[in-house]
Amino acid sequence: MNPNYLEIITNSFPADLKTDVLEVFKIIPLETKYKFDLISEHSYEISVDSEKLKIPVRIYFNEPKEQTEKELTEIQKDILNCIFTRHHNGFVREKRLKNISEKPEKWKTPFLIQLLGEYIYELLPIIDKKVNNNTLEFYREFKTENPKYWQQTESRIASYWNEYYRYKFPKLKDYLGIEIINRIKKTNAQQHI
């Protein structure tokens, strides 16, 4: 078993959140029925305010007990929910995405962008509500700071639309993932026209 789980999770968040991340990590159960590492070896590297973060593609932790979660602060709950947006189970990812608070925080952005580029359509309406006037600038900054990752995300959205959702949305521009991407790409000047 990989002894660096704490380091991997800590590296997923900005350094100024380290104390809160440590508190969250204490309640994550590390026991599992799986015979492999609880965090995939694959990750994506991005920048938030010039700070390099490395977020695992998938985690296999069990969810903590509800009672222990209730003892966390609001920001710690958001950290926990962001961690579990990387869970291998799509239903867990959806539940945790819904649980992320509406408090605008730039560090949440890469977790939502990653979900935007996944194949589960049911995540898109939730993300759509979270990409709003209070957070839109965070997504635009993320796009500018991470152009290669942004392009990969756009390509994934188009690929998943083509593979799984083209029959339901014959025109790519009508697919919610593309609508969200286009809203983020609009400049402030374009919005006021």
pLDDT at 35: 65
pLDDT band at 189 (very low <50, low <70, confident <90, very high): very low
Query: Looking at this protein, which amino acid is placed at residue 16?
Result: D
pLDDT band at 187 (very low <50, low <70, confident <90, very high): low
Instruction: Report residue 34's pLDDT band, with 50, 70 and 90 as the boundaries.
Output: low
Q: How far apart are CA 77 and CA 2, in angstroms?
A: 25
Q: What is the pLDDT of residues 129-152, one digit of tens each?
A: 999 999 999 999 999 999 999 999
Could you tell me the pLDDT band of residue 167, with boundaries at 50, 70 and 90? very high
The answer to whether 92 and 82 have CB atoms below 8 angstroms apart is: no
| Reported pTM | 0.92
- For the chain, give the longest Cα–Cα distance: 56
Provide, rounded to the nearest whole percent, the portion of the chain with pLDDT above 70.
93
Closest by CA position to 124, among listed 174, 192, 171, 80: 174
The H or E element containing residue 67 is helix 66-70
pLDDT at 139: 97
Alpha-carbon span 125 to 142, nearest angstrom: 20
CB distance 38 to 56 below 8 Å: no
Quick check: 2 pLDDT over 80?
Answer: no
Token pair in block for residue 185: 């790409």
Query: What's the distance, Cα to Cα, between the start and end of the chain in Å?
Result: 55
User: Is residue 188 over pLDDT 60?
Assistant: no
* Rounded mean pLDDT, 91-113: 97
pLDDT of residue 37: 84
Residue 3 is predicted with a pLDDT of: 57
Mean pLDDT across the chain? 92
| pLDDT of 1 over the 50 cut | no
